[in-house]
Amino acid sequence: MRTFLFWNLNGKRIEQLVANLAQLHDVDLVILTECAIPTAVMLDALNQDASPKFHLTEGECREIVIYTRFSSQFLQMAFETSRLTIRRMRLPDTDEILLAAVHHPSKLHWRDGSQNAECHGLSSSIRRIEDEEGHRRTVLVGDFNMNPFQEGVVAANGLNAVMARGVAARRKTRVVL
C-alpha cells in the first residue's frame, strides 16, 4: 500500500516539517500546493534520511507539485489544468490507479455557485479519464476550500462524496431529489 501526503503550505517555508511528517509516516508521495519552497531545498529536506530518495515529478499544473519515492515513469501525466493534475500511477505488480490532486480557489475569490460548478467539472474530467483508462480506481486529494456538505461535494453530479469509506464501498447510491 502506498502512503500519500497532501498539504497546502500556504506559502510557508516549512520544508523540515514536511520532511519530518513524510519520514514519520513513511510517505511515498508528497503532494503540495501553495508551495513556495524551491525544489532543491525541498528535496534536500525530504532526502535527509529517505531511502529510496524522493524526486520531483514532471507536471504543467502550477498549483500542485508532487514528489515521489519511485521513478516518475510510474506516475505519468494524463490531464492537467492550472489547478488540477490527474496522473496515471502504474507501479509494478499493482493495478493502475489515477491520482487526482486539486486546489480550488478560496471563498474569498469564488462564490459557492462557482465552486459547485467547478466540482461538476472536476467530476466530469475524472470520469472522462476513467472512461479512457477503463477503470474507476481514482484517488482524489486536494484543498477544495469548500464545506464537506456543500452541494458540489455531495451532489450526485458533483463529487458524490459520502461520510465514510464503508458507505462508498457499498457502491449503491440513492439519489433523493
- Contact residues for another protein, defined by CB under 8 A: 58, 60, 62, 76-82, 88, 113-114, 117-118, 120-121, 124
The three grid cell numbers given for residue 25, joined into one nine-digit string = 509516516
Nearer Cβ to another protein, position 26 or 58? Answer: 58
- CB neighbours of residue 102 within 10 Å: 24
Nearer Cβ to another protein, position 13 or 127? Answer: 127
User: 132 to each of 28, 55, 153, 164, how far by Cα in Å?
Assistant: 26, 28, 23, 28
- CA pair distance 64, 105, nearest whole angstrom: 13
User: Shortest approach of another protein to residue 130 CB, angstroms?
Assistant: 14
For residues 86 and 78, is the Cβ–Cβ distance under 8 A? yes
The sheet carrying 4-8 orders its strands as 4-8, 29-33, 64-68, 55-56
User: Shortest approach of another protein to residue 128 CB, angstroms?
Assistant: 9
Q: How many CA atoms within 13 Å lie on the side-chain side of 29?
A: 22
User: Shortest approach of another protein to residue 156 CB, angstroms?
Assistant: 15
Nearer Cβ to another protein, position 23 or 114? Answer: 114
Nearer Cβ to another protein, position 11 or 113? Answer: 113
User: Shortest approach of another protein to residue 67 CB, angstroms?
Assistant: 19
